[in-house]
């Protein structure tokens, strides 16, 4: 009897294995704590997509610049990324298309400093070492903050570091400030005796999420993109109205303290929407500033790379 039960169970798994190849794999790039991290952890997004014939594969990246490289080489089909990396990628010649916009984390992004550093305003950053990651929203954040404070690009010492290296440098006081975003900012505020010197809202940097795709893929998969937006927005609506559950989910997923995750979630707005002129204008402002500041040697025209998915 036991033998026949084993045979039956084995046969069921065989059927499942044989049916899986009929699903079309869709690879989505994401970063820790972002919209698709929540969707992945909750599980409903993948289930809904599977019913439509798609197997979702989530791939995590440390920052948007790395994600854009993966997108350019065709290793991912969609990238949930910050507002700056796509602009840099476009200027570098990457053929990408904006298919959706997300929520903002302007209150959880900015420049952090130690509370005992004596740095209490942007003016106090003159001559100081500021860590950032080239090609990410942290670079734009610093540019915007400097401009808002009436300071020039050369008024600070720019220190380009990846996330891990910047974390070490900041912890050991090798840099005086660090431009970053949640959940890292929340963690630094709580565990490194730090404060946000200026956040995105104050600097005029919205720090909105975007979903981009290789242009050829986007053109040939508009129906799929609509599903990604539809099911993604359902998860984001849930996230905005169920903070306690999201905090519990992300505390486990991110392996951070509940206090850190709570700070991040309570000051963030989640969403996934179809593109419109407002979002295009926000991106173009970044492209213009990067070009005018010499960060990019080529002007990117965002409107030429948008699918409004009517």
- The whole model's pTM is what? 0.86
pLDDT in tens, 32-46: 889 999 999 999 999
Nearest CA-CA partner of 28 in 17, 20, 38, 16:
38
Domain ranges in the chain are 2-105+207-254+264-305, 107-203
The CATH fold of domain 107-203: D-Maltodextrin-Binding Protein; domain 2 (3.40.190)
* Spatial distance between the Cα atoms of 269 and 265, rounded to a whole number of angstroms: 8
What pLDDT score does 16 carry? Answer: 42
pLDDT in tens, 172-205: 999 999 999 999 999 999 999 999 999 999 998 9
Residue bearing tokens 């989530």: 58
What is the maximum span of the chain, computed from C-alpha positions, in angstroms?
A: 81
What pLDDT score does 63 carry? Answer: 83
Which CATH class, in words, describes the domain spanning 2-105+207-254+264-305?
alpha beta
Whether residue 193 contacts residue 116, with contact meaning beta carbons closer than 8 Å, is answered with: yes
**Which residue ranges in the chain fall short of pLDDT 50?**
1-18
What pLDDT score does 15 carry? Answer: 38
What pLDDT score does 291 carry? Answer: 94
* Spatial distance between the Cα atoms of 182 and 199, rounded to a whole number of angstroms: 11
pLDDT in tens, 39-81: 999 999 999 999 999 999 999 998 888 899 999 999 999 999 9
Q: Which runs of E-coded beta strand occur in the chain?
A: 24-30, 54-60, 78-81, 96-104, 109-114, 129-132, 157-160, 177-181, 194-199, 208-214, 272-273
* Other Cβ atoms closer than 10 A to 29: 26
């Amino acid at each position: 009897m036991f033998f026949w039960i084993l045979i039956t169970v084995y046969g069921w798994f065989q059927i499942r294995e044989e049916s899986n190849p009929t699903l079309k794999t869709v690879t989505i790039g994401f970063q820790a704590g972002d919209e698709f991290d929540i969707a992945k952890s909750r599980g409903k997004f993948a289930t809904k997509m599977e019913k439509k014939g798609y197997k979702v594969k989530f791939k995590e990246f440390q920052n948007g610049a790395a994600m854009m490289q993966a997108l350019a080489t065709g290793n991912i089909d969609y990238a949930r990324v910050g507002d700056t990396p796509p602009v840099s990628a476009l200027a570098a010649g990457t053929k990408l298309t904006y298919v959706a916009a997300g929520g903002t984390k302007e209150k959880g992004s900015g420049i952090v400093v130690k509370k005992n550093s004596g740095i209490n305003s942007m003016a106090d950053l003159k001559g100081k070492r500021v860590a950032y990651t080239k090609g990410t929203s942290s670079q734009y954040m610093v540019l915007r903050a400097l401009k808002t404070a009436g300071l020039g690009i050369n008024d600070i010492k720019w220190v380009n570091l990846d996330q891990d290296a910047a974390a070490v440098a900041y912890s050991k006081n090798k840099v005086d400030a660090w431009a970053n975003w949640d959940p890292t900012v929340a963690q630094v505020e709580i565990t490194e005796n730090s404060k946000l010197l200026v956040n995105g809202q104050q600097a005029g940097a919205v720090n909105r999420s975007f979903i981009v795709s290789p242009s050829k893929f986007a053109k040939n998969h508009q129906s799929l993109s609509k599903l990604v937006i539809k099911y993604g927005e359902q998860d984001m609506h849930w996230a905005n109205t169920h903070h306690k559950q999201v905090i519990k989910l992300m505390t486990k997923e991110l392996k951070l303290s509940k206090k850190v995750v709570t700070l991040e979630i309570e000051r963030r707005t989640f969403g996934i929407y179809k593109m419109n002129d407002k979002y295009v204008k926000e991106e173009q402002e970044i492209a213009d500033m990067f070009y005018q500041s010499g960060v990019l040697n080529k002007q990117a025209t965002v409107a030429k790379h948008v699918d409004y998915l009517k």
